[in-house]
């Protein structure tokens, strides 16, 4: 099988992802979940994804759709890379087992459907501020907040490019 086919097989819609997760759980495996825009992938993203992957047998990454990114108010020129491109880049990472695109402002509804064993978010959040944390905890799961690696941000990368 060609690499491009393998990558495409890691990109799911919600219904197919629910079936895939059920299949993994039938094998006794655990699921880690994280989300973000991942507009320009950088070292901070890789750190956070690696930490999330270390928490369970399989890592699911939810990616904000283009419309969702625009509603987050990150700027008129965002996202730089469209949702399909961002999903393909994430799916090409060996540590990522599944990618799903969500159109809502937060992944709350998606997390409620998937109920991962571990919910991982990067940043300066409290558990109460993390979308889906309550549902994951009520289902017996854990919530982990990864530290931010200072000096790595998509906005800073874009600003640096604009200066040059």
Q: List the chain domain ranges.
A: 3-163
* Euclidean distance between CA atoms 3 and 109, whole angstroms: 31
Q: Which residues of 95-111 are buried (b: 16+ CB within 10 A; e: fewer)?
A: ebbbbbbbeeebbbebb
pLDDT at 124: 75
pLDDT at 149: 63
Average pLDDT over residues 30-35: 98
pLDDT at 42: 83
pLDDT band (50, 70, 90) for residue 163? low
Percent of the chain with pLDDT over 90: 68
pLDDT at 164: 57
* Euclidean distance between CA atoms 11 and 98, whole angstroms: 6
- Contact predicate 157/40, CB 8 Å: yes
Q: How many CB atoms lie within 10 A of CB 143?
A: 18
Residues 88-143: tens digit of each pLDDT: 999 999 999 999 999 999 999 999 999 999 999 987 788 899 999 999 999 999 99
Taking all residues of the chain, what is their mean pLDDT, rounded to a whole number?
A: 89
pLDDT > 90? residue 30? yes
Write down the residue that tokens 């998509």 correspond to: 154
Q: Which CATH number fits domain 3-163: 3.40.50.300, 3.90.850.10, 3.40.50.10490, 3.40.50.620?
A: 3.40.50.620
Write down the residue that tokens 């490019």 correspond to: 161
* Euclidean distance between CA atoms 50 and 93, whole angstroms: 10
Average pLDDT over residues 72-87: 86
* Euclidean distance between CA atoms 82 and 86, whole angstroms: 6
Compute the C-alpha angle 136/141/145, nearest 5°.
Answer: 80
pLDDT > 60? residue 157? no
CA-wise closest residue to 45 among 55, 56, 34, 32: 34
pLDDT at 60: 98
Percent of the chain with pLDDT over 70: 88
Write down the residue that tokens 């600003």 correspond to: 159
């Amino acid at each position: 099988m060609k690499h491009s086919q393998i990558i495409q097989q890691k990109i799911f819609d919600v219904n197919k992802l629910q079936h895939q997760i059920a299949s993994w759980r039938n094998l006794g495996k655990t699921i880690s979940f994280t989300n973000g825009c991942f507009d320009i992938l950088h070292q901070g993203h890789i750190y956070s994804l690696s930490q999330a992957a270390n928490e369970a047998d399989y890592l699911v990454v939810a990616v904000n759709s283009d419309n969702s990114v625009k509603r987050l108010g990150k700027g008129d020129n965002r996202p730089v890379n469209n949702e399909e491109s961002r999903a393909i880049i994430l799916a090409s990472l060996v540590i990522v087992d599944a990618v799903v695109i969500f159109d809502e402002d937060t992944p709350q509804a998606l997390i409620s459907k998937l109920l991962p064993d571990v919910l991982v978010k990067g940043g300066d959040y409290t558990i109460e501020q993390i979308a889906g944390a309550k549902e994951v905890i009520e289902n017996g799961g854990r919530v982990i907040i990864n530290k931010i690696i200072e000096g790595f941000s998509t906005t800073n990368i874009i600003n640096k490019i604009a200066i040059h």
